[in-house]
Amino acid sequence: MVGALAPGPPGDPSDFRWEDQIFHFLTEQGRVLDEQPWTACLGNGCWDGAPGLARPVRSVGSPDALYFALDYPGWTFHDVSFNPVDDECGGRTITVRAEPLTDRVFRVDPAGLTGEWRVDVFGRSPTGGDAVASVRWTTPADGSMPKPHATGSLFTDQDGRRVAPYGGPELFLTDLERTPVEAAATWTATDRSGASVTVPLRREKSRCAADGSVAFRGRELTPAELDTLPGRSVTYTVQVSLDGTAYTGTARWPQDETAEAPYTRFTFDPGLPAYVG
């Protein structure tokens, strides 16, 4: 039955035209829903949209797992997000990876608590480009719960030079047990020589921030402070207080920088409080 998702020869992303239905989802009844991306950078341009903007997001029913295919081979789907259907502003989003079954067919297992979710399937091409499409899926059972995720940014490499593209440090914590009432943080950058600069972070609040998340931002480092950190490798240390409990996060730059530069992964000790449903 899964073989019906990608029966023809693979397509070529350079031939993509807006409204091409390059995503294919398998329903509970074994039918295939052909979907166009609502946002994509493919072919000769980029198109921006939103789920449900052109038409209501269609449902696959309640299969045990979500199977889908893409016309193009070799893509990765590391950002498949489960979004609450009736509480998109401030609701909790859970992000998982799709398991590749072939070079074009993928499987997603349930995540979060049993219920109806809007699942956004976001993929990246190995040669550049991306696309996202959505379906509604009523999961038949509880699934995996997300681990707390912490990323931050300060420096990145630009043509062999260390720069701070967004000015000051930024820190994002997601998939926490709950949104903290009180939150505070500081960011310290330490050069291999032992010289360091510490910047207090202020909490950034948003009306539609996802449940279980908190964001911080700090001021831009001064030229004198940057001069104290001449080395190519820097250790970031963040001291975070969430509702009175202290946590210490560390990351090394550039070693821990993610594919989404300048963002860097942090490891916390003790571990951040996790969401369990």
Domains and CATH numbers, the chain: 2-139 (2.60.40), 149-269 (2.60.40)
What is the per-residue pLDDT across 251-273, written as a single tens digit (0 to 9) for each?
A: 999 999 998 889 999 999 999 99
| pTM assigned to the model | 0.81
Mean pLDDT taken over the chain: 93
State residue 88's pLDDT score. 66
Residue 117 backbone phi and psi in degrees, to 5:
-130, 150
Q: Average pLDDT for residues 39-67, to the nearest whole number?
A: 92
Q: Which of 61, 139, 127, 67 is nearest to 99 (CA)?
A: 67
pLDDT digits (tens, 9 = 90+) for 160-198: 788 888 889 999 999 999 999 999 999 999 998 899 999
269: helix, strand or coil: strand
Q: How many Å apart are CA 48 and CA 234, to the nearest integer?
A: 36
What single letter denotes the amino acid at residue 61?
G
Query: Cα separations (Å) of 148 from 104, 151, 213?
Result: 30, 10, 9
